[in-house]
Structure 1
Amino acid sequence: MSSKLFLGHRLRRLRRDHGLSQTDMAASLAISPSYLNHLERNQRPVTAALLLKLAEQYEVDVRSFASGGGHRTGPDELAEIFADNLLADLGVPRYELSELANNSPAVADAIARLYGALKEANREGGVAAGGDVRALVTPENWVREHIQQHRNHYPALEEAAETLGGALSDPLSMAEPMRRRLKDAWGISARVVPQAELGNVTQLYDPDARKFLISSQLKLENRTFALAYQLSLVEFGPILDRMVAEAAPPDQGIAQLLHMSLANYAAGAIMMPYGRFLKACEEMHYSIDRLCGEFGANVEQVAHRFTTLSRPGQRGVPFFMLRVDPAGNISKRYAGDQFPFSRFGGTCPRWNLHAAFQAAGQVVTQLIETPDGHRYFTVARTIERPVKTDLAGGLLAIGLGCDIAHAHKLHCAEGYDLDRAPVTPVGPACAICPRIDCAQRATAPAGRMLAVDRSKKTISPYPFVAG
Structure 2
Amino acid sequence: MADPKLFAGHAVRRLRRGAALTQAAMADMLGISPSYLNLVERNQRPLSATLILRLAESFDFDPRALSAAEPGGGADGLRRRLADPMFADLEVDRAQVEEWLAGAPGGAEAFARAYDRIGQAGGAAPAGEAAGEPQLRVRREIERWRNHFADLDAAAEALADELRAGSADPGGAMAERLRVKHQLLVRILPVEVMPDRLKRLDLHARQLQLSEMLDAPSRSFALAQQLAEEARGEIDALVRGAGLDRVAERMFRRHLTGYFAAALMMPYARFLRACEATGYDAELLGHRFGASFEQVAHRLTTLQRVGARGLPFFMIRVDRAGQVSKRYGGASGSPLVEGAGVCPLWDLFEAFARPEAPVAQLVELEDGGRWFTVARAVRPPGARAGQARFAVGLGLAAGEARTLAAARGIDLSGSAALIGLGCRACTRPDCVQRSAPPAGRAPLVPERETGLTPFGFAGD
TM-score, structure 1 normalization: 0.80
Deviation at residue 374 of structure 1 after TM alignment: 1.8
1:427 is the counterpart of 2:420: yes
Say whether the 8 Å CA contact 1:78–1:108 is kept in structure 2: no
1:16-61, Cα deviation, whole Å (9 max, x unpaired): 4798865587579986435644674x6xx72xxx34x55785599x
Change in CA separation of 1:250 and 1:96 when aligned onto 2, cut-off 3 Å: farther
Matches within 5 A, 1:136-151: 137-151=132-146
Give the equivalent residue in structure 1 for 2:118. Answer: 115
Give the equivalent residue in structure 2 for 1:80. Answer: 84
Deviation at residue 434 of structure 1 after TM alignment: 3.4
2:392 aligned residue (388, 394, 398): 398
1:263 is the counterpart of 2:260: no
Deviation at residue 15 of structure 1 after TM alignment: 5.2
- Higher mean alpha-carbon deviation, 185-194 vs 146-155, is at 185-194
1:233-278, Cα deviation, whole Å (9 max, x unpaired): x211121112111112112x22222111100000000000000000
2:211 aligned residue (210, 215, 232): 215
Give the equivalent residue in structure 1 for 2:440. Answer: 447
Aligned residue for 1:386, secondary structure, equals: coil
Amino acid at match of 1:105: A
Q: Tell me how far apart the structure 1 counterparts of residues 15 and 425 of structure 2 sit (CA, whole Å).
A: 33
Deviation at residue 340 of structure 1 after TM alignment: 2.1
Deviation at residue 456 of structure 1 after TM alignment: 3.7
Aligned residue for 2:200, secondary structure, equals: strand
Deviation at residue 344 of structure 1 after TM alignment: 5.5
Amino acid at match of 1:427: G
- Higher mean alpha-carbon deviation, 297-306 vs 353-362, is at 353-362
Say whether the 8 Å CA contact 2:69–2:145 is kept in structure 1: no
Amino acid at match of 1:182: L
Amino acid at match of 1:93: L
Give the equivalent residue in structure 2 for 1:13. Answer: 11
Say whether the 8 Å CA contact 2:84–2:124 is kept in structure 1: no
Amino acid at match of 2:140: E
Say whether the 8 Å CA contact 1:78–1:112 is kept in structure 2: no
Number of corresponding residues: 429
Segments of structure 2 that go 5 or more residues without pairing to the other structure are: 1-5, 53-62
1:191 is the counterpart of 2:187: yes
1:457 is the counterpart of 2:445: no
Amino acid at match of 1:240: I
Change in CA separation of 1:425 and 1:448 when aligned onto 2, cut-off 3 Å: same
Aligned residue for 2:225, secondary structure, equals: helix
Give the equivalent residue in structure 1 for 2:340. Answer: 345
Give the equivalent residue in structure 1 for 2:313. Answer: 319
Give the equivalent residue in structure 2 for 1:164. Answer: 159
Give the equivalent residue in structure 1 for 2:34. Answer: 33
Deviation at residue 333 of structure 1 after TM alignment: 0.3
1:409 is the counterpart of 2:403: yes
TM-score, structure 2 normalization: 0.81
Give the equivalent residue in structure 1 for 2:349. Answer: 354
1:86-120, Cα deviation, whole Å (9 max, x unpaired): xxxxx973449966974422212222331227689
Aligned residue for 2:119, secondary structure, equals: helix
Say whether the 8 Å CA contact 1:101–1:108 is kept in structure 2: no
Give the equivalent residue in structure 2 for 1:93. Answer: 90
Say whether the 8 Å CA contact 1:381–1:399 is kept in structure 2: yes
Deviation at residue 198 of structure 1 after TM alignment: 3.2
- Higher mean alpha-carbon deviation, 301-310 vs 366-375, is at 366-375
Deviation at residue 174 of structure 1 after TM alignment: 0.9
Deviation at residue 418 of structure 1 after TM alignment: 2.1
Say whether the 8 Å CA contact 1:318–1:402 is kept in structure 2: yes
Give the equivalent residue in structure 1 for 2:374. Answer: 379
Aligned residue for 2:248, secondary structure, equals: helix
1:369 is the counterpart of 2:364: yes
Q: Superposition RMSD on alpha carbons, in Å?
A: 3.8
Change in CA separation of 1:339 and 1:456 when aligned onto 2, cut-off 3 Å: same
Give the equivalent residue in structure 2 for 1:291. Answer: 285
Segments of structure 1 that go 5 or more residues without pairing to the other structure are: 1-6, 84-90, 127-135
1:306 aligned residue (278, 297, 300): 300
Amino acid at match of 2:115: A
